[in-house]
Amino acid sequence: MRSQTEPSDEAVDATRAAVDRAVANLLARQLPDGSWMGELESNAAITAEYLLMRRYLEVTDTAREAAAIRYLRSQQQADGSYSIAPGVDGDVSVTAEVWVAMRAAGVPADDPAVAAARRFVADHGGIHATRVFTRIWLALGGLWPWSELPVVPPEWVLVPGHRIGSIYDLASWARATTVPLAILRTLETVFPLAGPSRSELPLGAPVPPVGSLTWRSVDRLVRLYGKLPKIGLRRLALAEAERWVVRHQERDGSWAGIQPPWVYGLMALRARGHGLDYPVLRRGLEALDTFGIEDEQGFRLQACVSPVWDTALALWALLDAGLDRDHPAVRRAVDWLVDREVQGLGDWAVHVPGVAAGGWPFEFYNDQYPDTDDTAIVLCALDAAGHRRDDGTPAGAAMTRAVNWLQAMQGSDGGYAAFDRDNNRHWVERLPISDFGEVLDPPSPDVTAHVVEAFTRCGGAELARRRALAWLRASEEGAGAYFGRWGVNYVYGGAATATALAAAGERADRERLLRLGRWVRRHLHDDGGFGESVLSYHDPRHIGQGEATPSQTGWALLSLLAAIEGSQGLDGGDELEGAALAAADWLVRQQREDGSWSDRLFTGTGFPRAFYLRYEMYATVFPLMALARVVGPDKGLKGPS
């Protein structure tokens, strides 16, 4: 007799059919070189800044501008604002940047969309209420006085990297942005705009400055220093900052593979007197356009691209679904990933000297900044494809180097950050420019869990694995909740943690896994879906709450399956199995005819409380991975034989 939580024949057949359709969809989306890459959507400020940068550098293209403006119009909310993510109220900084960009591109001030955006800014504190980086964009166009913005002395780059107070105290992304910004701020660079005029700015009332009192005092002292004769020191510092920028350009022309240091780098080189024919500038401009997407909505710029991440996840999901390891798609993906291995030393080596390179980046090329999260996921995918460390293949050799590199990147507390080891000098958080996103890269449960799973699967790092496991266990918040740094939010951190603990298979984690599974079950919607809003980073009342999405329901199902597997023998398994069946049924019902799923909301995290993303691939990869584990031969919800 079948138990109440055992899936019916019809449910098993429907799930297997959904898996087959999703496999066919992913195979059809594989690119000829063996990779996968979906769109990485963010907010409208990225495209607005692209428009402004092109105006500043006098790289204008009427058709491109028109397409970008069409996209910006499509993103405007009913109240005239632009938000940091769907379902979130308008953001004054994003709206101000879009308004200025549209005016700079020649859209009249009385255009209804432009007027509505300006009105929103005026009603929400004006330009004074925007973040520092928005006012930096205005200063670059001559619309805001540089004297009212924090100083960023280029002498910062002269501090030895291993010393406290160097630019290497900043997180990788903040560091890569700050160096070119120091050039622009020091030169008080202005690229004059034809419009808007200063008189158009809705200023609003002044607001208290950002940064602690101590660091605001330091800012005043640095301003005084800037007025003194430097006997060549300032000239030396600017030259070294420029060399730093040039050295950090990647092979594809990008900087750190992300938009902020890229656009600031281009403008800084122009401010230093280089023409658009300067090879570094030319490569950077040409490469930036490859991050653009143009369709019926218009033209938009991606803040980043995610081919390594997408490829590793897609490969892993297909292998979970039973695709043969000898399938041509698997072989092409493995070869592509191996070719993307980072083999040169990057910024991470400043604090981790004497260690050989290894690992993978997020993007096509990011030799300066490989990251532990991508490296862990690639290792898991290569292991699923049948490769082993030192198995005599290029993949096996790359895995060995990656495991060695990951061990060296472990924090002193046992946890794992994404890009650096022990990036925890909190003084940088008090700087007057630190009002947007994160400026440190601390360890997180999601990254640490991925590394634990990679070490468990690949071996060769037992001491590091046990230290990471201890850190992960200690990161539990409340009953079964684990923070998600790079995905929204606790359901993402929970899925990474649950699958890692289940893979580790230690008896001591059975109760922990059961708590985690119960946390997911408590927040599951009545119809089996799961959603958690980006607002969960802003207000704890939103934790585990929100409109259901396929990617988050996939994470919830992965958590439940891992909890069921890892807590066997404890009371409570039936309730988790019922929740898992409901989540699987929701995913089957939400699948589109072409075998894919689609997220309406953003479920990726760039900076909590500031910058969010929608990974196009997430909505299909994670439901496929989860459903494949529901009906897989070694999983807990097999149904009748």
Q: What phi and psi, each to the nearest 5 degrees, are found at residue 366?
A: -160, 65
Identify the residue whose tokens are 């980006």.
Answer: 534
Task: Mark out the alpha helices in 385-509 (DSSP H runs).
Answer: 394-408, 445-458, 462-474, 490-504
Q: Would residue 634 show up in a list of annotated catalytic residues for this protein? A: no
Residue 146, both tokens: 């540089």
The span from the CA of 557 to the CA of 559, in Å, is 5
Annotated catalytic residue: which of 320, 347, 371, 373? 373
**Cα dihedral: 421, 426, 427, 428 (round 10):** 70
The answer to whether 250 and 472 have CB atoms below 8 angstroms apart is: no
Please state, in angstroms and rounded to a whole number, the distance separating the CA atoms of residues 143 and 198.
5
Cβ atoms of 70 and 293 within 8 Å: the answer is: no
Residue 99 CB burial class (10 angstroms; 0-12, 13-18, ≥19): buried
Beta-sheet strands, E only, within 191-243 = none
- Which is it for the CA torsion 341, 343, 344, 350, positive or negative? positive
> CA dist 369 to 250, 286, 375, Å?
10, 21, 11
Beta bridge partners of 423: 441
CB count in 10 Å sphere of residue 115: 14
Q: Could you say which DSSP state residue 428 is in?
A: G
Q: From the centroid of its chain, how far is CA 406?
A: 20
Tokens encoding 570: 């404890």
Q: What is d(CA 270, CA 194) in angstroms, rounded to the nearest whole number?
A: 19
User: Is residue 62 a contact partner of residue 91, using CB atoms and an 8 Å limit?
Assistant: no
Q: Which 8-state DSSP code applies to residue 301?
A: E
With b for 16 or more beta-carbon neighbours within 10 A and e for fewer, the 188-209 pattern comes to ebebebebbeeeebbebeeeee
- The Cα–Cα gap between 81 and 102 comes to 13
Q: Where are the beta strands (DSSP E) in 7-73?
A: 40-41
Angle between helices 510-523 and 550-566 (to 10 degrees): 150
398: tokens are 């790359």
Q: Which residues belong to the active site? A: 373
